[in-house]
Amino acid sequence: MAGVTRVNGPLVEVDGLGGAAMFELVDVGGIPGEIVALTGDHATVQAYEYTGGLEPGARVVSLGGPLSARLGPHLLGGIFDGLLRPLDGTEMWLKPSPLRAPGRRLWPFRPLVPAGTPVAPGTPIGSVTGSGALPYLVLSPGGTVTAVRPAGGYAADAAVASVSGRKVTMEWLWPVRRGLPYRGRLDEQVPLITGQRVIDLLLPVRRGGTVAVPGGFGTGKTVLLQQIAKWCDADVVVYIGCGERGNEMADVLAELRELADPRTGGRLLDRTVVIANTSNMPMMAREASVYTGVTVAEHFRDMGYHAVVIADSTSRWAEARREFASRGGALPAEEGYPADLASAIAAFYERAGLVTTLGGEPGSVTIIGAVSPPGGDLTEPVTTHTQRFVRTVWNLERALAYARHYPAVSWNGSFSRDGAALAGWHVRNGRRDWVAARTRVAGLLAEADRLSALAELVGAAAFPARERVVLLAGRLLREGLLQQSALSAADAYCAPERTGRLTSQILDVVDECLQLAEQGMPAAEIETRDFSDVLRAKERP
């Protein structure tokens, strides 16, 4: 019989597990864990609960199979821990507990194809409602529909159809560390509209893209990610609170419950799956949470939806891996992180993408991950490796946050490798000036930055009028366009049309000032003109 030999926090060593497989789930003395190393019949297990009181000799039972996500109609609108166990309707204090099957309820099912139809893998054979705003699609494993249930209420694990003799249920399990299959990747460039001007205009992200958001504490990572969770134009949002604050989770839940989805009229929560593994919840479940989250997103992608994964913060995930590796005595690489840090980060972001699903539809997973560099030091390993593997970086700067310039996205220290291509998409979709305006804004900001660095040395008074107008333009763009308060009812979300309009209004004012300068008006006079109208335009709905 298998038994525990050593316990060191979440690291548990086990003897007697002959025949066990790598990444197999086990029950160690009543709590779940996963085998992460095997030598002969000796296994190292990462425990997913607090191991207080666990002693050598405690019984270990294999649970057969790897850590898997239960994918089903219960996900939308729900809140789960890192192992995807429901948190709603459970006890106030989270005590260590084994994995249990969830309670049963009946879901309204409607067949989409009659018996006898041939169905390729990934095509919908039925639709489930009552789970959030979107129809939840039951997909075919491939074959011919031999039987399908009539419309009605069924349990998630009941057979609703049979395809070439295989039972099809609404819910099923998929190992979280392996990506769900798809037919192929698409390289179409469509932006994910976030409703944040600095992003949509200057640093856009595409559907299926990847974004890292590094920033020291208090620079606004969580507020920005929550804004995107609320307002981006995705079908499904998977919000992972990975080792962050409990109060923030309570906050985001309360807001998502109250806010209406502008596109469906339903609650925003109904298009959201919240995974909450706060910093005081077990550390290794935090490690698992980013994988469960991305698996859930892939599942909705496979139904032909556009999903976004928001992970706050990926640094806490990397730290959990470091912590475990060091307890296991692994040789550390940079700053104590295990040597596979870079490949683990790369593999995680690789699960993003715009794809053709098995069913032949386009669907996407976009991943946006916060990074919390210790001491705000952007040269630390998690930040530097993440920057290598993502297509977009929104760098949050302490100086901007300190000056209450929110969102504190640095316009010169960030990048989007899809910026030009996505700007072209806007032009093709009726916003003819988008590319020109974007180029102009970026150019003015860069020139203003260069000039203000110079002004710190020689004083702006020494500049010719045109240069002083450029400095002024920098200020107008920063205050009137880039700054966007998450707390403002009128401005928290900004549609692309409005972003375009605000941009051209400011550029018009800048042109006017440049012209005045050219005509000889002294810079001081131009600077003291009343710009409050163009600066306050963003506060008007």
Residues touching Mg ion: how many (CB under 5 A)?
2
Residue 279 contact among Mg ion, other proteins, ligand ATP, none, beta carbon within 5 to 8 Å by kind: other proteins
Under rule CB under 5 A, residue 278 binds Mg ion:
no
Backbone angles phi, psi at 453, to 5 degrees: -65, -40
33 in Cβ contact with 47 (< 8 Å): yes
Q: Which is nearer to Mg ion, 222 or 277 (CB)?
A: 222
Indicate which single residue of 215, 293, 373, 381 sits in contact with ligand ATP (rule: CB under 6 A): 215
Position 279 contacts ligand ATP (CB under 6 A): no
Q: Does 218 bind ligand ATP (CB under 6 A)?
A: yes
Please report how close the Cβ of residue 221 comes to Mg ion at its closest, in angstroms.
5
221 binds ligand ATP (CB under 6 A): yes
DSSP letters along 274-304, please? Answer: EEEE-TTS-HHHHHHHHHHHHHHHHHHHTTT
Instruction: Please list every residue from 405 through 444 that binds Mg ion, using CB under 5 A.
Output: none
Minimal distance, residue 270 CB to Mg ion, in Å: 25
Dig out the tokens for 247 from the structure.
């109060």
3-state class of 105 per DSSP?
coil
Binding residues for other proteins (CB under 8 A): 5-9, 13, 50-57, 79, 87-95, 216-218, 241, 243, 245-247, 249-251, 253-254, 276, 278-283, 316, 319-320, 322-323, 326, 332, 335-336, 372, 374-377, 402-404, 487
Pick the piece of the chain touching Mg ion (CB under 5 A) from 3-11, 16-24, 55-63, 214-222: 214-222
Query: What are the phi and psi torsion angles at 364 (to 5°)?
Result: -145, 155
Per CB under 6 A, the segment of 81-89, 121-129, 173-181, 214-222 that binds ligand ATP is: 214-222
CB of residue 372 to ligand ATP, shortest distance in Å: 5
Strand partners, 145: 163
- Does 314 bind Mg ion (CB under 5 A)? Our answer is no
CB of 245: closest distance to Mg ion in angstroms? Answer: 7
- Answer for which of 131, 162, 219, 503 binds ligand ATP (CB under 6 A) is 219
Residue 371 binding ligand ATP, by CB under 6 A? no
DSSP class of residue 540?
-
Nearer to ligand ATP, 198 or 509 (CB): 198
User: Is residue 288 a contact partner of residue 48, using CB atoms and an 8 Å limit?
Assistant: yes
| Residues across the chain | 541
Closest CA to 380 of 371, 391, 390: 371
- Please state, in angstroms and rounded to a whole number, the distance separating the CA atoms of residues 365 and 236: 9
Contact 227, 264 (CB under 8 A): no
How far apart are alpha carbons 284 and 47 in whole angstroms?
7
In the list 140, 194, 277, 372, the residue contacting ligand ATP (rule: CB under 6 A) is: 372
407 lies in the site for ligand ATP, by CB under 6 A: yes
Of the residues 222, 227, 278, 357, which one makes contact with Mg ion according to CB under 5 A: 222
- Using CA atoms, how far residue 109 sits from 130, 136, 189, 242, 355, in Å, is 9, 9, 35, 33, 27
Q: What are the b/e assignments for 336-358, b being 16+ CB within 10 Å?
A: ebbeebbebbeebbebbbbbbbb
**Residue window 325-364: x/- pattern of binding to ligand ATP, with contact defined by CB under 6 A:** ----------------------------------------
Instruction: Pick between residue 182 and residue 406 the one whose CB is nearest to ligand ATP.
Output: 406
In whole angstroms, give the CA distance from residue 163 to residue 71: 19
| Minimum distance, C-beta of residue 521 to ligand ATP, in the bound complex (Å) | 36
Least CB distance to other proteins at residue 45 (A): 13
Q: State the binding string over 434-473 for ligand ATP (x if CB under 6 A, else -).
A: ----------------------------------------
Q: With CA atoms as reference, report the closest residue to 418 among 392, 383, 380.
A: 392
User: Applying CB under 6 A, what is the total number of residues that bind ligand ATP?
Assistant: 14
- Shortest Cβ 222–ligand ATP spacing (Å): 3
Axis crossing angle, helix 381-389 with helix 314-327, rounded to the nearest 10 = 120
**Nearest Cα residue to 293 out of 193, 365, 364, 370:** 365
Q: Which two tokens stand for residue 502?
A: 């605000």
Which residues ranging from 467 to 496 are in contact with Mg ion (CB under 5 A)? none
CB of 215 to Mg ion, least distance (A): 9
70 part of the interface to ligand ATP, by CB under 6 A? no
457 binds, among ligand ATP, other proteins, Mg ion, none (CB under 5 to 8 A by kind): none
Nearest to 284 by CA among 462, 58, 33: 33
Q: How far apart are the C-alpha atoms of 77 and 79, rounded to whole Å?
A: 7
Q: Which amino acid belongs to residue 418?
A: D
Burial of 523 (0-12, 13-18, 19+ CB in 10 A): buried
Query: Nearer Cβ to other proteins, position 92 or 101?
Result: 92
Q: Is 272 in the site for Mg ion (CB under 5 A)?
A: no
Point out which span in 50-58, 222-230, 277-285, 345-353 binds Mg ion (CB under 5 A). 222-230
| Residue 399: CB atoms within 10 Å | 10
Shortest Å, Cβ 90 to other proteins: 6
For ligand ATP, which stretch binds (CB under 6 A), given 89-97, 218-226, 329-337, 347-355? Answer: 218-226
Residue 222 neighbours by CB distance under 10 Å: 21
User: Hey, what are 540's tokens?
Assistant: 């008007």
* Closest of 277, 67, 274 to residue 174, by C-alpha: 67
Task: Pick one of other proteins, Mg ion, ligand ATP, none as the site partner of residue 54 (Cβ within 5 to 8 A by kind).
Answer: other proteins
Q: Which residues bind ligand ATP (CB under 6 A)?
A: 215, 217-223, 372, 406-407, 485-487
